[in-house]
Structure 1
């Protein structure tokens, strides 16, 4: 199926969707470091992106009308700084808000479906009206703002149009949900809001995939299963937080879901870059980064839990979220390769740039596995519709 990928970043969403069966005719990204990463992996013939038509440039300068009626999916992660908890919270007043361009791409291509991802902060009470504004624009992309029309006035007009039951224009059925990547097998607690829309004429009935993994299943495995034995850990390293112990004690039967994947699950077979630098340097993007330290609010990710959310940061990479916390209380920064695993990128995929820049690319990325799971469900629905 043919797709267009906007705001591709380091490629997490696009790789996942490629694995779900979508093949982009255009992949657009303006950041030169991200483009360097994508080009380097194309040149290395990494299967997931080897045939991507990468366009380095500003999406605002691209006309999508040539693809009208030819695209199955438009996807992307519009820049999230306007809504990020770590950002400046300017929302619709922030010139980095690229949702209008995502909506324009939908309007011009009229795809059968779309999928957009953004930070959980977009759902905060402060942004609630603007969240609704985005959703209604995605449902009715042909109802454009008039010249000089304030966004709040445009929202009111969209609300009137939406409730009028007039559906002669381009119309999508849109659902949005906050998904925790850990619930889908990603070794990271990463909550993101995902918008999925299907064109109205497809008569689609769809819901987000059910969660397949859970915290309770992990706690059960750690208290009744073979988690510690599987990782060959001595008794003194089998450490659960007091809160985890309390929750585990309340479990009376084994959960049906699979266990959340932990940091240890993700990186256990990699050499320690601090203790084994000679072995670690053989692994791509796996170099020790010195300087990690703990302080209030920056305590790192425990080895035997999913990682905290990897973040890009407005003023550089925050230390707490991008650090590993060992059972003995010591900490170190995750390497780029370890962070890529926490985002479920393939080991064959290389990140370009220094540690800070590579970590910024990963902090902005969509976990590959989350994109694949949601994308595969969208693809199945589109294939089902094509057969009807």
Structure 2
């Protein structure tokens, strides 16, 4: 994987398979340390980035993977030396499909993200998490996370309840005079499909700039791509002919069908159309129907066992895919399989799922299919990370 030398130093926490890190690297950030607990993810990172595993001999080595518990990693060596700290603190406690134990779940790693900010004092940070964190039932905890990131030096006392800590943070936040380290934090809920990713995937972002950085960051949630533009192309444009779709298979589903009735041929949307699953994987051989051709492509093998059940019907080829899911006890069926026009279904191959997450084609994932899908299901789409990264880099450059 090539890197652009720009001098924008960063570190990546909870790196997973590297989706956020790749996109930020494409935006010009160079990770000096990459921290990840899962061994398969670490193998993936090392294989694709020429990483130096736990090598302290070169403190400036990019993509130096530190495998292990982040609670045992110090970030003091990076104090005032970084442009960015980024990562995706484990999100299972907040997932809509999880157990919703945000307040007392031991897997909540946001305190470690705050510690990294406190020790490294970067000019900016980008953290991401699932949409579930914005649920009304998590409103107080969402604010708690945001205030900790804004005031990382106001640490919880021993045995202090999170709600008492929240109260102290609120008082500090509204104080007339505040000393120490502070960040200006903006939160955004983004749908990846609106940014050219062939997947409906919503992620919440925490973007912060240190108080002494004169940044005026903002970001349009609606992006550059829309469903209306896709439906217009399918209704009045040449979408079907362009992809040589048989007339019997030219079907709009659900909301797209309703939207088509409201569109006018004379009013073509100015935005770009959402990218579809078909567009993401159209040039790959079907691993079920053409296994020999598929076998010549890394991570592109047929996975048997896909089935439809209530609420899990697969992703339609001519829409962005459903959100790829990592699953708690295995891989959920409907989110990680495609549905053909005739109603038949099959699981996405690892390569197809990587395409849907906009990973580069030369990116090799390690582990069995279920493990690779877990890595991809937890990842940030590379293209979304790149777009966000470029907007943050622009502010840092202008504030320099």
TM-score (norm 1): 0.96
For the pair 1:337 / 2:348, whether they are aligned, the reply is no
1:321 and 1:196 mapped to 2: Cα distance? 28
2:172 corresponds to: 161
1:188 corresponds to: 199
Q: Structure 2 matches for 1:133-144, cutoff 5 A? A: 133-144=144-155
2:226 and 2:51 mapped to 1: Cα distance? 36
Q: Structure 2 matches for 1:56-205, cutoff 5 A? A: 56-205=67-216
The answer as to whether partners of 2:131 and 2:203 remain within 8 angstroms in 1 is yes
For the pair 1:229 / 2:241, whether they are aligned, the reply is yes
1:37 corresponds to: 44
1:13 corresponds to: 20
2:55 corresponds to: none
1:308 corresponds to: 322
1:146 and 1:217 mapped to 2: Cα distance? 52
1:359 and 1:4 mapped to 2: Cα distance? 25
The answer as to whether partners of 1:209 and 1:377 remain within 8 angstroms in 2 is no
The answer as to whether partners of 2:51 and 2:64 remain within 8 angstroms in 1 is no
2:271 and 2:204 mapped to 1: Cα distance? 22
For the pair 1:270 / 2:284, whether they are aligned, the reply is yes
Secondary structure class of the residue paired with 2:93 = coil
The count of corresponding residues between Structure 1 and Structure 2 is 382
1:344 and 1:212 mapped to 2: Cα distance? 16
| Per-residue deviation, 1:203 | 2.3
Secondary structure class of the residue paired with 1:192 = strand
**1:53–1:43 Cα change, 3 Å:** closer
The answer as to whether partners of 1:221 and 1:259 remain within 8 angstroms in 2 is yes
The unaligned stretches of length 5 or more in structure 1 are none
Q: Structure 2 matches for 1:214-253, cutoff 5 A? A: 214-252=226-264, 253=267
Secondary structure class of the residue paired with 2:188 = strand
The answer as to whether partners of 1:104 and 1:141 remain within 8 angstroms in 2 is yes
The answer as to whether partners of 1:209 and 1:373 remain within 8 angstroms in 2 is no
1:2 corresponds to: 9
1:229 and 1:39 mapped to 2: Cα distance? 42
Runs of 4+ in 1 over 2 A off after TM superposition: 42-45
2:220 and 2:26 mapped to 1: Cα distance? 16
1:319 corresponds to: 333
- Alignment deviations for residues 264-316 of structure 1 (CA, whole Å, 9 cap, x no partner): 01000000111111111111111001111101111000000000000001111
Q: Is the deviation greater in 362-371 or in 210-219?
A: 210-219
1:381 and 1:244 mapped to 2: Cα distance? 37
| Per-residue deviation, 1:44 | 9.8
| Per-residue deviation, 1:62 | 0.9
The answer as to whether partners of 2:14 and 2:37 remain within 8 angstroms in 1 is yes
| Per-residue deviation, 1:38 | 1.1
Secondary structure class of the residue paired with 1:220 = helix
Secondary structure class of the residue paired with 1:265 = helix
For the pair 1:52 / 2:66, whether they are aligned, the reply is no
**1:285–1:247 Cα change, 3 Å:** same
